Amino acid sequence: MLLSHVLKRGHAWLVAHDDYELSGDELAQVCALAAKRIAGEPMAYLLGVREFYGRAFLCTPAALIPRPETELLVDLALAQIPATAPLRGLDQSPVRVLDQAPLRVLDIGTGTGCIAITIALERPHASVNAIDISPDALALAGENAQRLGASVSFVDSNWFAGLPPESQFDLILSNPPYIVPGDAHLSQGDLRFEPTVALADAVDGLESYRQLAQGAKKHLKPGGVLIVEHGFDQGGSVPALFRAAGFYEVTMHRDLANQPRVTSCRKPPPR
């Protein structure tokens, strides 16, 4: 992979040209990258890209590296959005009046933008919005959206604070920080190089979900859906938190490794 990256050649070319002699500059680049990898730096940061949902997303240390487990969240979100634009409105004979207002989607803590951009590309008729507290992450997400041709509105915001008070969404998505501060995993593997603000919350691993529940009550339309990713050991605590907050149809979903990974729920209609 490092050779392919430096030489800008595919794997098949490398196999077919195993007698190719690297130039001094090429060898130096490969050795420098190899040294970083030996030190544990993630391949996504060394190569600058990571595939997610069949697309290559630019990656930098400004944002969490996209992971295949998060594709489950996207699958569940896409199931909530019609494949064709819904027509809302009333039949008023002899003239039919239709409102083609798109479904509104909000991705909270967008990072590389992989969730929001994928939704926008898979459901181009939806109105997709994404927020993040990190200006560097937002810049990266914006670059990914431009490269991939996705229409996403990005907003600098700490949770819901930067949104207009009256803003309402049909679907709210988030892969928030959920690792408990001081967890041993934060000093292992790729996590050592990823932004801590995207990994761990400041309290007990559940503070992000409290913020999401509180904000969704205000910004989610009645009957709207909230879908969140969480840790494998939070398959009981996160659903319980949303049930206690008054959401209904609370469902925990398992990933391909059969681990608790995503919880979905709905905002109840007004009484």
200 DSSP assignment: B
Residue 22 burial by Cβ neighbours in a 10 Å radius (0-12, 13-18, 19+): middle
Q: Which of 230, 229, 266, 268 is nearest to 249 (CA)?
A: 266
Structure-model confidence comparison of residues 182 and 198, the more confident one: 198
The CATH fold assigned to 62-266 is: Rossmann fold (3.40.50)
Q: Per-residue pLDDT tens for 231-264?
A: 999 999 999 999 999 999 999 999 999 999 999 9
Are 89 and 103 spatial neighbours (Cβ–Cβ below 8 Å)?
no
Q: Per-residue pLDDT tens for 8-35?
A: 999 999 999 999 999 999 999 999 999 9
The C-alpha torsion from 109 through 178 and 258 to 184, rounded to 10°, is: 130
Q: With 0.85 as the threshold, say if the pTM is over it.
A: yes
Q: Is 233 helix (H, G, I), strand (E, B) or coil?
A: coil
Residues 6+ apart with CB under 8 A from 201: 176, 177, 178, 179, 180, 181, 207, 208
Are 65 and 44 spatial neighbours (Cβ–Cβ below 8 Å)?
yes
Q: Which two tokens stand for residue 9?
A: 């050649």
Q: Per-residue pLDDT tens for 141-156?
A: 999 999 999 999 999 9
Q: Name the E strands within 100-235.
A: 104-108, 127-132, 152-156, 169-174, 220-229
